[in-house]
Amino acid sequence: MDTLTARKLSKSGAMKVLNVALAAAESLNCAVSVAVVDDGGHLIAFGRSDRAELYSVAISQAKARSAALTRFPSGKKSPTGNERDDHHAIAITLAAGAGSFVTIPGGFPLMSQGECVGAVAVSGAGHKDVEIAQRAAAALDN
């Protein structure tokens, strides 16, 4: 066959994920940016809490892009804590071009029936970024 079919994240699916993340942040008293991207890393939905720090606008999008293009949560690529992993990740980041990838946690692939259809990422809430993004990722297809 000359073509394949693939699932694509819809606007309404992305908005559902976005709203779950923004509500989760509010319930944790956090001000965040939330980015939802498609399987190519392109933005579908974005929202920023009142008084969220502005750096989170860029960071959330970079995390989401990283998670979508690796089909893996953003952050270290191995759980070993090996310092070399960090340096390797930074090197990959540099090679991929400034602004494209980040190696900090808070981005998660969005899976639908076993396929990666995009990613969601949260920035601005420190170590709670992960919890908020995970809750949002879990909302898809539920």
Q: What is the binding site for its own copies (CB under 8 A)?
A: 1-16, 22, 33, 38-50, 53-55, 57-59, 62-63, 66, 68-71, 83-84, 86-88, 90-104, 112, 117, 140-141
Q: What is the DSSP string of 54-75?
A: THHHHHHHHHHHHHHHHTS-SS
CB of 66 to its own copies, least distance (A): 8
Nearest CB to its own copies, comparing residues 46 and 131: 46
Query: HSE-up of 8 (CA within 13 Å, CB side)?
Result: 8
Closest C-alpha among 11, 68, 61, 17 to residue 39:
68
Decide if 71 contacts 109 (C-beta within 8 A): yes
The minimum distance between CB 98 and its own copies, in angstroms, equals 4
Q: Decide whether 79 or 98 has the Cβ nearer to its own copies.
A: 98
Nearer to its own copies, 42 or 131 (CB): 42
Smallest gap from Cβ 67 to its own copies, in A, equals 10
Q: Is the distance from CB of 39 to CB of 6 less than 8 angstroms?
A: yes
